[in-house]
Amino acid sequence: MPEAILQVQTAGPRADRRPTARTPDAWWVERVRYAALVVFPGLVLFSLAFPERAGRVFWTVAIAALPLFFVLAGYHRWRRICPLAFIAQLPARFGWAGQRRAGPWMQAHAYHVTFALFLLSLWLRLVATNGDGVALAVFLVVISGAAVMVGLVFTGKTWCNYVCPVSFAEKLYTEPRGLRETPNSQCGTCTACRPACPDINEENSYWKEILLPAKRDVYFAFPGVVLAFYAYYFLQSGSWAYYFGGSWTREAGLFRTAFAPGIDAHTAGFHVWPRVPRAAAAALTLLAGGAISHAAFRAFEPVLGRAFRRRGVPDDAASLRSVMFTIAAFAAFVAFYSFAGAPTLRLVPGLPQVFQLLVVTTATVSLVRRVGRAQSTFAEETLARRLVANWKWTDAPPPRDLREAFLIHTIRSRSQDDARRQMVDLYKSAIRDSLDSGMISRREVHRLDALRHQLQISDADHELAMSELADEDGGFGAGRSRAASPEKQLQLDTYAEALAVHLERQHQSPADVDNALVRELRTRYGVTVDEHAAVVERLLQSDGLASHLTELPAAIEWLAATVQHFDTLRSPAARFLVRLLRRRWARAADSLVRTLAGDVPVANALRDGLLSDDGEARDVVLEVVGSLVSPATATSLLAGLARARHDLGESPEVVRLLRAQLSSPEPYLRATTLYLLEGMDQATGADFDQLEADEHPVVRETARATRALAGGAAPAATSTLEKMIGLRLVPIFEDLEPEDLAQLARAGTEVWFSEGECLCCAGEPGGEVFVLLDGEVTVSHGRTVTVEGPGTCIGELAVLDPAPREATVVASTIAVRTLRLTGGSFRQALGVSPVVSEGVIRILARRLREAARG
């Protein structure tokens, strides 16, 4: 074995959370989503067909309703409904998804990027798309194309998280939590495209980004930009009638004059300064509004912090910033709906007042729900959910009240000491799960005084739990402090589900290990080699996969021992058996190495070592593979190997070796094993019964035929397996896969010839190929006469070239058994396997040499 094998490094830490199914949402969400997918392209067509009405419908109805929908329906529901999000995922749906991830700069400045695009969109409204249906349609098509391009280049929801102009507004209006709980909007195939993904847990994302400078800049500037946008209608015209009357929704071709100095009220940049181009005036207004708002909120934040301290309110940076964001969201929401939709609402008497009441009520409820929310509250709720998830009393549902949960534990425990120990264990388990999920940190755990008081966990008990956790699994410093984020965990969970399905299919099917599919899965989910190893290790904890993989070393030993015995025999059936055994051996080695070792640089060397006839070389490989998994799994692998060698002994009986393959996942191996056992007069009635009920037709056919032979009855016809064995005697067919041989055998017909009977005559058209199974034939080619025996292929060139046959073939023994193949079947085999083509070429070359010598 190469020394490089011994230098393989162990995989990363094992992930120990199981994949979870997504909670179903309200019935109407999918229907609204489908409706949005129809309405969005419909708006493009409507804008082109009715350009004078498009602005009113799109801006004062559709767009005006969005923030209210964000708040009332919930962030996650909108993320599933948004048609632009669907468009951005089109490349992934067609298998063209990009693989790049947003870099560190993009992650740090995503809010700046989306806000800049948002400002650009508002500016385009003021200078082009507000009242021009054609310009609006072009804008919608361009932004849709941009979403598709991002999807083609980048992975996951990069468009939604890093580019979409309204993504920050969706979050501002709904963070840190919505008016009610909703199922999240996580991707089915998570590629961990964003740290602290809001689609997995919006509030967790909120607190992880709460002090991000880019988020602060955008949230503080946004209310001023909203006010500045609507203020510009007054600054441009000198009257609010311009906005509330809706005349701005019917201004076709405005973009053509937007960059020129104003000459009248329609083209003026400012009504007090008409000569300023409208494009410049609109940009200055938006930028000034954002700057003033940003400065005002920055100045107000320390003032609010001092007020909190005077009143004894906790004013840590995260809590203070959260209150500021809440104020900014309230101000932006109210400012937006003081104007949004008004030109259309005023067409219906009384409707503006009702709508404003709805807006104010929604904003107030949202403000009250958000303003008192603290990061510690979120951490406590996260820990509490973990606590209830570890509820041990199966005969009673876990209570919602944590104090009640503690009382039930106390009553049901045998003593006060038991109750205390059980409560500490439950508390410790909840802490471990919460830390592993990435939702809270160790520092936050130490600050959960209110929760500990409610659970009656003393400081001593808390320190005991934390110290015990620090001693487990290598300590927090070695592993738990670097627990996977929720985004990374979801990425690995969904990858684990897909990989488990693939490995289960591989286990149930005798097909070759599809390494390309595993690599494609890793690429699609963005999983590294070490992460793949960690996922496999997690899957090994499940009984099915673990038992399958830990049985492979034993299976390899049995296969090696069987090959060693039959490799010295020259009978056609024995040679065919060895071919099948080596194929199964290679597949078992592939399965073990590719699943446990992944794409380590020496994976091929590991596989070759497992295929070695030298048992010591196989032992070295298993030691290396064992170093890539947990000690428990490595022990299981070596234990399986030890049991196999003990069962085999020094000189295993041939019948025992064969009988072990009757349950092989390889159907042709099962059939050939039974065929050989019957030939040795060692097949039992139980063997026949088992394989006559087999799922594979060749196995069932072989079982029926061999049972008939065992009973002394002559078979009605040669079985498919016997034809396959005969075909493999032909040099050009010997490297065909069993599946191809079976297809060829089924296409062939057994034909017997008596002595002196002609198989084919020179000068006749050649439309068939004969494979000689038993007996001998004389081939006469002019004055050249040769004798051919079993394994000879006759007439193979005549079916490729329509010329008449060049030789006469006559049966020279009492009986000659052949397999007759039609020309079409032979040509199909020629196309299936390059080996057959090469064999025909060799035959042709040999005959040309013979002709040249003659």
In the chain, the number of structural domains is 4
DSSP 748: -
Residue 675 lies in a domain: no
CATH number of the structural domain spanning residue 794: 2.60.120.10
**How far is it, in rounded angstroms, from Cα 45 to Cα 60?**
18
**Which pLDDT value is given to residue 210?**
92
Whether residue 714 is predicted with pLDDT greater than 80 in this model: the reply is no
Sign of CA dihedral 428, 433, 435, 436: positive
Q: What angle do CA 438, 440, 444 make, to 5 degrees?
A: 150
459 and 312 in one domain?
no
49 in the same domain as 127: yes
Residue 558 clears pLDDT 70, i.e. is over it: yes
Please report, for residues 255, 416, 773, 824, 825, the alpha-carbon distance to residue 833 in angstroms, rounded to integers and kept in the order given: 65, 76, 22, 15, 13
Considering the domain architecture, whether residues 71 and 151 belong to the same structural domain is answered as yes
Provide the residue type at 28 as one letter.
W
Contact call for residues 622 and 588 (beta carbons, < 8 A): no
- 805 - beta bridge partners? none
CA dist., res. 573 & res. 581, Å (int): 12
Q: Does the structure show a pLDDT above 50 at 354?
A: yes
pLDDT band at 387 (very low <50, low <70, confident <90, very high): low
Q: What element of type H or E holds 38?
A: helix 27-49
Domain boundary among 652, 676, 702: 652
Task: Give me the pLDDT at residue 239, please.
Answer: 94
Q: Are residues 260 and 316 in the same domain?
A: yes
Of 652, 673, 699, which residue is a domain's last? 652
pLDDT at 1: 40
Q: What is the pLDDT of residue 477?
A: 38
Whether pLDDT at 836 is above 70: no
20 and 493 in contact (C-beta within 8 Å)?
Answer: yes
Sort 617 into a burial class: Cβ within 10 Å, 0-12 / 13-18 / 19+. Answer: middle
pLDDT band for position 20 (cuts 50, 70, 90): very low
Instruction: Tokens 């929720």: give the residue.
Output: 486
The verdict on residue 569 lying in a domain is yes
77-91 pLDDT, tens digit per residue, is 999 999 999 999 999
Q: Would you say residue 706 lies in a domain?
A: no
What DSSP element (H or E) covers 771?
A: strand 768-774
* 103-114 tens-digit pLDDT: 889 988 999 999
The position carrying tokens 């008939």 is 708
Q: Mind giving me the DSSP string for 699-722? A: HHHHHHHHHHHHTTPPPSS--HHH
**Is the pLDDT score of 483 beyond 70?**
no
Q: How many residues does the chain have?
A: 854
Residues 584-597: what's their mean pLDDT? 80
pLDDT at 19: 37
Identify any residues that bridge with 822 across adjacent strands, giving them in sequence order: 768
C-alpha span between 217 and 422 (Å, rounded): 48
In a domain, 813, yes or no: yes
Q: Which residue has the tokens 């962030």?
A: 75
Same domain for 347 and 393: no
Classify residue 59: in a domain, yes or no: yes
Greater confidence (141 vs 622) lies with 141
Mark whether 229 and 337 lie in a shared domain. Answer: yes
Lowest-confidence segment of 252-256, 507-511, 603-607 by average pLDDT: 507-511
CB 806 within 8 A of CB 781: yes
CA 331 – CA 161 distance, rounded (Å): 24
Phi/psi for 584 (5° steps) reads -65, -40
Where in the sequence is the domain holding 64, given as residue range(s)? Answer: 28-186+210-371
Verify that 644 and 779 share a domain, yes or no.
no
* Cβ-proximal residues to 445 (8 Å cutoff; 6+ apart), any chain: 379, 383, 431, 434, 435, 466
Locate 818 and state its tokens: 């052949």
Q: Are residues 135 and 243 in the same domain?
A: yes
Asked if residue 318 and residue 354 are part of one domain, the reply reads: yes
Lookup: tokens for 792: 């000879």
pLDDT at 494: 73
**Residue 355 within any structural domain of the chain:** yes
Q: Please, what is the Cα angle at 12 between 628 and 635, to 5 degrees?
A: 30
pLDDT at 718: 80
Per residue in 597-635, pLDDT tens?
665 567 778 888 888 888 888 888 888 887 777 777 788
Mean pLDDT of the chain: 81
**Co-location of 622 and 726 in the same domain:** no
Asked whether 152 and 91 are in contact (CB, 8 A), the reply is yes
pLDDT of 160 > 80? The answer is yes
Average pLDDT over residues 213-227: 96
pTM, to two decimals:
0.59
Most confident residue range from 271-285, 459-473, 806-820: 271-285
Residue indicated by tokens 């991000």:
212
The answer to whether 11 and 630 have CB atoms below 8 angstroms apart is no
C-alpha 164/C-alpha 154 separation (Å) is 14
| Residue whose tokens read 């923030």 | 67
Residue 338 has pLDDT above 60, yes or no: yes
Indicate the pLDDT class of residue 450, thresholds 50, 70 and 90.
Answer: low
When pLDDT is averaged across residues 42-51 and rounded to a whole number, the result is 94
| Residue 784 within a domain | yes
Q: Of the given ranges (257-271, 463-477, 516-530), which has the lowest mean pLDDT?
A: 463-477
Averaged pLDDT for residues 233-259: 94
* Domain identity same for 385 and 316: no
Per-residue model confidence (pLDDT) at position 598:
63
774 or 416: whose pLDDT is higher?
Answer: 774
* 366 and 222 within one domain: yes
The last residue of one of the domains, among 597, 630, 652, is: 652
Q: Categorize the per-residue pLDDT at 455 as very low, low, confident or very high, splitting at 50, 70 and 90.
A: low
Cα separation, 406 vs 408, in Å, equals 5
